[in-house]
Amino acid sequence: MSGFLAILARDLKLARAESGGALLAVQFFALGALLFPLGLGPEPAMLSRIGGGLLAVMALLATLLALDRLFQQDHEDGTLDLLLTAPTPLWSLVMGKTLAHWLLTGGPMIVAAPVLGILLQMSWPAIAGLVVALALGTPTLSLVGAIGASLTLGARRGGVLLALLVLPLYIPVLIFMSGTVTAAETGLAFGAHVSILGALLLLSLVLAPWAAAVALRQTGE
């Protein structure tokens, strides 16, 4: 547990020291979302219809944007080799790093989502659904992303490869996130979508740190 907390505190401190770099993902999330009204036209009816799905897609891309830095820096400066030999189990260190990643990407996105929802003319129930969906969905995105980031460590053109590997695995999360928004907007019960998002989160909480740890071990061999 102490290792988990130590690595979490370290990653957050490092991100703050980079001043500005930490919140890059949420800036990308907002800016990307604002491109759509300019590209598709500012019709309120159309915007309110596509707003939820659009923000869900942007959440995927923004998470992806910050992913290749998840282990890259530690791999380059040798920290990773120390983590591999640390007495704390590797999966708990992966959990710490992934939680830090989520606090810096998913967390700010959840805060920014209502504002962007208003700008995209979304209704209040839809915005509420979006916040719930992002709260359950973005941790899953970070966890699954950690698998991809550890697999592509040291690969040629790792960034592009990372997107190719991770985006197919993101599809279920995307489907149920936008499903939650649509159901909330039309006043239908969205419990089923939320339950599946929760199930995906629990599944990735169990599997992703383990898979990422297995992949990280290979870099040390």
Partner 1 sequence: MHRFANPARFLRLARALQPWLLAVTLPCLVAGLYYGLFNSPIDYQQKDTVRIMYVHVPAAWTAMFGYAMLAVASAIGLIWKHPLADLAGKAVAPIGAGFTAIALATGSLWGKPTWGTWWVWDARLTSVVVLLFLYLGYIAIWNAFEQPQRAAKAAAVLALVGIVNLPIIKFSVDWWNTLHQPASITRMGASAIDPAMLTPLLLMAGAYMGLFLLLFLLRMRVELAERRVAALQLARSRAGEAR
Contact residues for partner 1 (CB under 8 A)? 147, 151-152, 154-158, 161, 164-165, 167-169, 171-172, 203, 207, 211, 214-215, 218-219, 221
Q: Shortest approach of partner 1 to residue 165 CB, angstroms?
A: 4
Between residues 131 and 149, which has the closer beta carbon with respect to partner 1? 149
Q: Shortest approach of partner 1 to residue 9 CB, angstroms?
A: 28
Between residues 78 and 168, which has the closer beta carbon with respect to partner 1? 168
Q: Shortest approach of partner 1 to residue 67 CB, angstroms?
A: 15
Between residues 15 and 200, which has the closer beta carbon with respect to partner 1? 200
Amino acid at 15: A
- Asked if 115 and 34 touch (Cβ cutoff 8 Å), the reply is no
Which three-class secondary structure string do you get for the chain?
CHHHHHHHHHHHHHHHHCCCHHHHHHHHHHHHHHHHHHHHCCCHHHHHHHHHHHHHHHHHHHHHHHHCHHHHHHHHHCHHHHHHHCCCCHHHHHHHHHHHHHHHCHHHHHHHHHHHHHHCCCCHHHHHHHHHHHHHHHHHHHHHHHHHHHHCCCCCCHHHHHHHHHHHHHHHHHHHHHHHHHHHHCCCCCHHHHHHHHHHHHHHHHHHHHHHHHHHHHHHC
Q: Shortest approach of partner 1 to residue 18 CB, angstroms?
A: 27
Between residues 40 and 203, which has the closer beta carbon with respect to partner 1? 203
Between residues 103 and 214, which has the closer beta carbon with respect to partner 1? 214
Q: Shortest approach of partner 1 to residue 83 CB, angstroms?
A: 18
Cβ–Cβ contacts within 10 Å for residue 220, how many? 12
Between residues 78 and 156, which has the closer beta carbon with respect to partner 1? 156
Q: Shortest approach of partner 1 to residue 8 CB, angstroms?
A: 24
